[in-house]
Amino acid sequence: MKRVFVASLLFFCFSFNTFAVEAVFKMAAIDFNNILENLPSHKDALSKIEKRAQDLSVELMKERDSIEAKYKDLESRSHILSKEAVQAARETLEKEHSDFQQKMNGANSMINSAHYDVRNVIMTKTTEACADIAREEGYSVVVHLSTLVYVDKSIDITEKVLKKLVTGLKNIPVVFKDADNLAKTSSPNAAKKIERKS
């Protein structure tokens, strides 16, 4: 009889604790990638960045072609120039090529920085939207879907967050930072996308 009583008591305590945890702890999940793909203001920002990237690419291609043409011209005239003149011309062209690479580094850094800033704005606003929904609906924690193996659709609040962002984040400012300053801290490998042919 005593064993039955103890077993019943343990079952009651376990059930009560489970109920208490469920009553207090509510978890929600969001898909940030889904938000990025479907947020209109993000698409507009990406369009502006892509336009700037294309304009820079056209400008840089023209400069690259100009440098290549100068190299070819020097090679074609090297037999009629003195060694000193050829050496001086090559040094000038190497300087131009170095300046071009630095400009390319700066352009790449400018575009990458713009992407980072836009994404950071969306992340900040997404966090604020999640906090609002969590307070409104009593969620204790909101996690990213990518961190979970399985998620019941009932706790996915992505659409609710997206709805808040669509109305509250209609425009994302796109700032292109000074390329010359960015080039000083950019990676030397950044210019490999466009470089002088060997």
Predicted confidence (pLDDT) per residue in 75-118, tens digit: 998 889 899 998 999 999 999 999 999 999 999 999 999 999 99
The domains of the chain are located at: 2-193
Task: List strand residue ranges (DSSP E) for 19-109, in order.
Answer: 27-30
Q: Which residue has the higher pLDDT, 180 or 9?
A: 180
pTM of whole model > 0.85? Answer: no
Q: Which superfamily does 2-193 belong to?
A: Skp domain (3.30.910.20)
Give the model's pLDDT for residue 24.
Answer: 64
- The per-residue pLDDT of the chain, averaged, comes to 82
User: What does the alpha-carbon distance between residue 113 and residue 177 come to, in Å, rounded to a whole number?
Assistant: 8
Alpha-carbon Rg for the chain, nearest whole angstrom, is 30
User: What does the alpha-carbon distance between residue 164 and residue 150 come to, in Å, rounded to a whole number?
Assistant: 25
Q: Which of 89, 168, 99 is closest to 130 using CA atoms?
A: 168
Q: Which residue has the higher pLDDT, 188 or 33?
A: 33
Give the model's pLDDT for residue 179.
Answer: 54
CB 155 within 8 A of CB 27: yes
